[in-house]
Chains A and B, each alone.
Chain A
């Protein structure tokens, strides 16, 4: 076995996760510990934070400094945005979206969570399940993160007492029952001393479950993506106009869910026209089958008018094509929602004009209570009704993230002001 094989076996999967919690929960220390104990910290980084620790009059190495980002943040001692970190073990490559956990940063957590397979929610063992922990769990369920890990941290400060851990787990589970969470694991840990992060340590012998690293390396993620419904938003149409490829029309895009084979019957939406797949072309050559999340080029049997924004699906497995739908909308902008204005919505590869025509209710993210409001402010989450100028081809977000999500853009500032998740009640779905 060569060195490379030992370091990186062939099929190393990619796992994306977020960490939610405030600085006080030891989140930065936990990330620092994961990087440190998995040997992902470089010498120059370590010497730089050792110096800074000393400059601040402390001893040893403050691992939380590793995740300190910009000068602006260091000066103020805060984290202002989502930062991405990378590390690898022989089993998997990891991308951490490090999101600050303060109340005003709902939008950052939603941003980081939107691409995550897993969320680690930190709870301070001394404080138990706080309002903030409930908010993090709610947001994780809203964004449809398949796996949740509750890290009960700072066990060293409660004498590694099992009853503290049990009580917090019970408390959290009672609350989590009300949410659509697929899978929740609880781990007692001390990020500061490294217990149950990468190493087990010898102070939590009563805990028989996995360490955090075990879980991250082994949790099954192959079903996180919708494997059933083939959805292919056309990104770009390739027409080379060369002599040998004079009539070539390749539809380029990414298989967002499901799979497709040569010869399959397809329907183009929103037009509803039918054809069959002729070729699936990759740079390396032609293939018979492609599946999510591959980026491919396809040709079809018939000459149809297909352009960017259209979606190819398998005939017989149709999503909804509609100009009116409901959604959970997270408002991201300092400028409040103006229900009388037109906005732009980007959904898959299509951009349309839209009006948020009604707000059924706003969710109090701390209590899950519904409230009546007539506008949305930054960090608000609400159930809204939307009308769009041209039809969108969509699925319920909880069934299919890729065709259920959209962003709202303010046409005058060009800023991204909202993030939406489409809700299609079961009795409305065309299947």
Chain B
């Protein structure tokens, strides 16, 4: 019995549950960031496994850029209600009204400005730990991120000055005003996430699956046509069968051509795919080799 191999998904799951319970036990006022995307969907299942039959010892929160896909927002509300857990939504629109965020144009990508609204919400509620669904395989700046990632009172990440993280003994201590970002699925890959979604039969927003959509070919990627993205004079729109690998700001999240219409088909496609998740789908990560690192230093997730 004791010698059986422990399958990798079980090992990852157990590690993540352990991390969530450490946060619940040691942090005074944690929150779980839930966007309706696949990674945070996995977080919610892990939280169920960590805490049921109790309620979650933290609320859920979404920082809404109001440039999100309507399907995802609908899914977010439906899932929170189904779980019977409290969902806090803080909108970037409020930050804009208050003058905390100044955009150059209405259709500009809002991803980079989420940090402001997030930091404001952290201050408003006095959260000392934010549980997020970031993974180390996403991007090279993430590869060096701790599972418990310490942020100073300005919400900033200093890559040269992180706490050493040994075994699974997490140091959760903070001074007033400081906070910790916690990434329970740090060690998961995109493929692990989809395999877990399949294994747990988790529901995901429909835009992850192949569907027909009007798109514009721009630079290296496809952009979905919406009220935020309209063809320029020399551009043509076309209808294609696509799906999204990540769900973010509608103005910069690109779909990929794909006919994967089920979780199983997505797993097969992910296992075979030759382009990284962020490389394919996020225009804002392509602006420079260090874009993610710079945004993280500013307090981005």
- A residues bordering B, Cβ < 8 Å? 2-4, 7-8, 10-14, 42-45, 48, 68-72, 74, 80-86, 88, 92-93, 95, 107-108, 110-111, 114-115, 222-223, 227, 235-236, 238-240, 242, 245, 248, 250, 252-254, 258-259, 282-283, 289, 291, 293-295, 308, 332, 344, 346-347, 349, 401-402, 405-407, 409, 414-416, 419
Choose among A11, A108, A252, A332 the residue that contacts B7 (Cβ–Cβ < 8 A).
A11
Q: Taking the nearest CB of chain A, how far is it from the CB of B85, in angstroms? A: 14
| B143 and A295 within 8 A (CB) | no
| A42 and B279 within 8 A (CB) | yes
Contact with A along B263-301 (1 / 0, CB 8 A): 010011001111110011000000001100110000000
| B144 and A409 within 8 A (CB) | no
| A111 and B8 within 8 A (CB) | no
Q: Taking the nearest CB of chain B, how far is it from the CB of A69, in angstroms? A: 5
A257 to B248, CA, bound (A): 41
Q: Taking the nearest CB of chain A, how far is it from the CB of B31, in angstroms? A: 17
| B53 and A240 within 8 A (CB) | yes
| B4 and A222 within 8 A (CB) | yes
Q: Which residues of B contact A114 (CB under 8 A)?
A: 166-167
Say if the beta carbon of B17 comes within 8 Å of chain A: yes
A80 to B158, CA, bound (A): 12
| 8 extra A-B contacts, CB within 8 A, seeds A238-B54, A253-B18 | A71-B290, A115-B168, A222-B5, A235-B22, A240-B54, A294-B14, A346-B169, A409-B173
| A12 and B7 within 8 A (CB) | yes
A74 to B159, CA, bound (A): 13
Choose among B51, B143, B268, B274 the residue that contacts A7 (Cβ–Cβ < 8 A).
B268
| B159 and A72 within 8 A (CB) | yes
A349 to B167, CA, bound (A): 13
Q: Which residues of B contact A83 (CB under 8 A)?
A: 140, 143-144
| A4 and B11 within 8 A (CB) | no
Say if the beta carbon of B226 comes within 8 Å of chain A: no
Contact with A along B8-36 (1 / 0, CB 8 A): 10111111011001101100000000000
| B residues 34-93 touching A (CB-CB < 8 Å) | 48-55
A405 to B144, CA, bound (A): 23
A235 to B21, CA, bound (A): 6
| A227 and B2 within 8 A (CB) | yes
Instruction: Name the residue of chain B whose CB is nearest to the CB of A344.
Output: B173
- B residues bordering A, Cβ < 8 Å? 1-8, 10-15, 17-18, 21-22, 24-25, 48-55, 136-137, 140-141, 143-144, 159-160, 162-169, 171, 173-175, 186-187, 189, 191-192, 195, 264, 267-268, 271-276, 279-280, 289-290, 293-294
Using A4-B267, A254-B18 as known contacts, say yes or no to A332 and B2 having CB atoms under 8 A apart: no
Using A80-B160, A346-B169 as known contacts, say yes or no to A236 and B143 having CB atoms under 8 A apart: no
Instruction: Name the residue of chain B whose CB is nearest to the CB of A81.
Output: B144
A236 to B25, CA, bound (A): 6
| B49 and A295 within 8 A (CB) | yes
| A42 and B143 within 8 A (CB) | no
Residue from B2, B187, B275, B294 having most chain A Cβ neighbours under 10 A: B2
| B6 and A13 within 8 A (CB) | yes
Could you show 26 A-B contacts with beta carbons less than 8 Å apart?
A7-B268, A13-B6, A14-B6, A42-B273, A44-B279, A69-B144, A83-B143, A84-B144, A84-B187, A111-B164, A223-B3, A238-B51, A245-B53, A252-B21, A253-B21, A259-B1, A295-B14, A349-B25, A407-B167, A407-B171, A409-B171, A414-B171, A414-B173, A416-B163, A416-B171, A419-B166
Residue from A2, A86, A254 having most chain B Cβ neighbours under 10 A: A86
Q: Which residues of A contact B160 (CB under 8 A)?
A: 72, 80-81
Instruction: Name the residue of chain A whose CB is nearest to the CB of B288.
Output: A71
Q: Which residues of B contact A4 (CB under 8 A)?
A: 264, 267-268, 271
A227 to B169, CA, bound (A): 21
Choose among A82, A308, A407 the residue that contacts B144 (Cβ–Cβ < 8 A).
A82
Using A12-B7, A42-B279, A293-B11 as known contacts, say yes or no to A110 and B140 having CB atoms under 8 A apart: no
| A69 and B166 within 8 A (CB) | no
Instruction: Name the residue of chain B whose CB is nearest to the CB of A407.
Output: B169
A238 to B54, CA, bound (A): 6
Q: Which residues of A contact B192 (CB under 8 A)?
A: 93
A7 to B128, CA, bound (A): 41
Q: Which residues of B contact A240 (CB under 8 A)?
A: 53-55
Q: Which 8 A-B pairs have the closest CB atoms?
A: A44-B279, A71-B290, A295-B17, A14-B8, A414-B173, A7-B271, A283-B49, A235-B21
Instruction: Name the residue of chain A whose CB is nearest to the CB of B13.
Output: A295
| B168 and A294 within 8 A (CB) | no
Q: Taking the nearest CB of chain A, how far is it from the CB of B83, in angstroms? A: 13
Choose among B271, B273, B289 the residue that contacts A71 (Cβ–Cβ < 8 A).
B289
| A259 and B279 within 8 A (CB) | no
A294 to B3, CA, bound (A): 14
Instruction: Name the residue of chain A whose CB is nearest to the CB of B7.
Output: A11
Q: Which residues of B contact A254 (CB under 8 A)?
A: 14, 17-18
Instruction: Name the residue of chain A whose CB is nearest to the CB of B53.
Output: A240
Q: Taking the nearest CB of chain B, how far is it from the CB of A266, in angstroms? A: 18
Q: Taking the nearest CB of chain A, how far is it from the CB of B228, in angstroms? A: 25
| A414 and B174 within 8 A (CB) | yes
| B169 and A405 within 8 A (CB) | yes
A425 to B5, CA, bound (A): 32
Using A45-B279, A235-B25, A409-B173 as known contacts, say yes or no to A8 and B271 having CB atoms under 8 A apart: yes
Residue from B13, B53, B289 having most chain A Cβ neighbours under 10 A: B53
Q: Which residues of B contact A415 (CB under 8 A)?
A: 163, 171
Q: Which residues of B contact A349 (CB under 8 A)?
A: 22, 25
Q: Taking the nearest CB of chain A, how far is it from the CB of B78, in angstroms? A: 21
Choose among B1, B21, B52, B274 the residue that contacts A291 (Cβ–Cβ < 8 A).
B1
Q: Which residues of B contact A405 (CB under 8 A)?
A: 166-167, 169
| A68 and B2 within 8 A (CB) | no
Q: Which residues of A contact B171 (CB under 8 A)?
A: 346, 407, 409, 414-416
| A14 and B11 within 8 A (CB) | yes
Choose among B12, B18, B275 the residue that contacts A235 (Cβ–Cβ < 8 A).
B18
A88 to B279, CA, bound (A): 20
Q: Which residues of B contact A81 (CB under 8 A)?
A: 144, 159-160, 162
